[in-house]
Amino acid sequence: MAIDLNDILNEFNLESEIDRYGNGHINDTYLTNSRKYILQRINTNVFKNPEKLMDNIEKVTDFLREKIIAEGGNPKRETMKVIRTRYNKNHYRIDDNNVFRVYEYVNNTISIETSKSYTDLYNAGKGFGHFQKLLSDFPAEQLYETIPNFHNTPSRVDNLVKAINEDKMGRAKDIQQEIDFALEFSKEASVVTDAIAKGDILLRVTHNDTKINNILFDEKTREAVCVIDLDTVMPGSILYDFGDALRMGGSTGAEDETDLSKVNFDAKAFEAFAKGFCSETMHSMTEMEKELLPFSVKLMTYECGIRFLTDYLEGDTYFKIHRPGHNLDRARNQFKIVADIHKQQDDLLKIIKQL
């Protein structure tokens, strides 16, 4: 079915020419030529319940707006704003495959795709940390789990074990070293989930996809302005957000770099991000959360590594690949970082204690 995007805009009481925007991998994103609004088609193959997803986003952004106003900030720049339809809904549904939403565009900002600048990492840490700080008293149980078990590492281990046992593609015999590594570390996979169950780690509102390109930065100062891409905002651990940000931000190589001599974990990158993050969150974290910050980077990197390995064993059905063995290369890359973080664990914890 052909869809006229201008007709979609009319449903939100808007009129403008519109062009494709950004390079996101999940949703289709467009920007009005007036540079005032972002239109997105929600990927309903990934997000099965867009209504509840949008309710999540509205609850969180409304809460953030009140907090930002209370501290004298600028809510038009510092949080996303959902535009409602002419029927006062937060989205417009044509059918199951065509669900649209509109946000206000945040002017005078830039997106940074990747950066190894310690200043950028500090600012990103501060931005994600401030997001956590503002939401520290939001009742996380009010939010819908948009992707169930997204950062449930024990569940990811179960998926890997199943893939190994089924060995659909006959690949397991050639990657025993990688399988052994993954299963050896699996003994630590439940550290965070067990602590949440016991109440030693708080269940919080978490972003769950803290790549540096999910923050908008001021185009002049490069300071963090607004956290975006809130589709995976749901209950979780602050450790997920910290660890996932440094999984890529702390690596010296690309995620699919095959020359593993180029792939290490940069402790100075860790320090820069942690300094920004902890400047906002240190007083709201529990002692166990602080202690586990270095471990969280290892855990999130391991989790991503076993997801790549699982997909390789199952025939590359989830992650897009651009060459044979691409997911295996990605898994090896992540496991190299896990091993490097493990060696530096004590030094990384010293950095946190100094902060």
Q: 303 CB contacts (<8 Å, ≥6 apart)?
A: 151, 153, 156, 189
- Fill in the DSSP letter of residue 151: T
Query: Which residue type does 211 have?
Result: K
CA distance 252 to 269: 9
Report the DSSP pairing between strands 92-95 and 82-83.
unpaired
What is the phi/psi pair of residue 313, to 5°? -65, -30
Query: pLDDT tens across 118-159, in order?
Result: 999 999 999 999 999 999 999 999 999 998 899 999 999 999
Query: pLDDT tens across 149-194, in order?
Result: 999 999 999 999 999 999 999 999 999 999 999 999 999 999 999 9
| Cβ–Cβ under 8 Å, residues 215 and 130 | no
Q: Where are the domains of the chain?
A: 5-107, 118-354
Q: Find the distance separating the first CA and the last CA of the chain, reported in whole Å.
A: 55
| Cβ–Cβ under 8 Å, residues 151 and 303 | yes
Query: Which residue type does 261 have?
Result: S
Q: At what angle do helices 176-185 and 326-354 cross, to 10 degrees?
A: 30
CA distance 111 to 222: 10
CA distance 328 to 309: 6
Q: Do domains 5-107 and 118-354 have the same CATH topology?
A: no
pLDDT at 320: 85
Query: Which residue type does 124 have?
Result: A
| Cβ–Cβ under 8 Å, residues 267 and 249 | no
pLDDT at 1: 61
| Cβ–Cβ under 8 Å, residues 41 and 98 | yes
pLDDT at 26: 67
User: Domain 118-354's class?
Assistant: alpha beta
Report the DSSP pairing between strands 109-111 and 215-218.
antiparallel
What is the phi/psi pair of residue 71, to 5°? -95, 10
Query: Which residue type does 125 have?
Result: G
Cβ-count burial 115-129 (b if 16+ within 10 Å, e if not): beebebbbbbbbbbb
pLDDT at 304: 96
162 three-class SS: helix
Neighbours of 38 (CB within 10 A): 21
CA distance 208 to 155: 16
In sequence order, what are the beta bridge partners of 226?
216
CA distance 324 to 160: 20
pLDDT tens string, the chain, 355 residues long: the values are: 678 888 999 999 998 888 776 666 567 889 888 879 999 999 898 899 999 999 999 999 999 999 999 999 999 999 999 999 999 999 999 998 899 999 999 999 999 987 779 999 999 999 999 999 999 999 999 999 998 899 999 999 999 999 999 999 999 999 999 999 999 999 999 999 999 999 889 999 999 999 999 999 999 999 999 999 999 999 999 999 999 999 999 999 999 999 999 999 999 999 999 999 999 999 999 999 999 999 999 999 999 999 999 999 999 988 889 999 999 999 999 999 999 999 999 999 999 999 8
Q: What tokens does 346 get?
A: 């004590």
5-107 is classed CATH 3.40.50.11440? no
Give the helix/strand (H/E) hosting 269. helix 267-281
The reported pTM is 0.92
Alpha carbon 317 to chain centroid, angstroms:
21
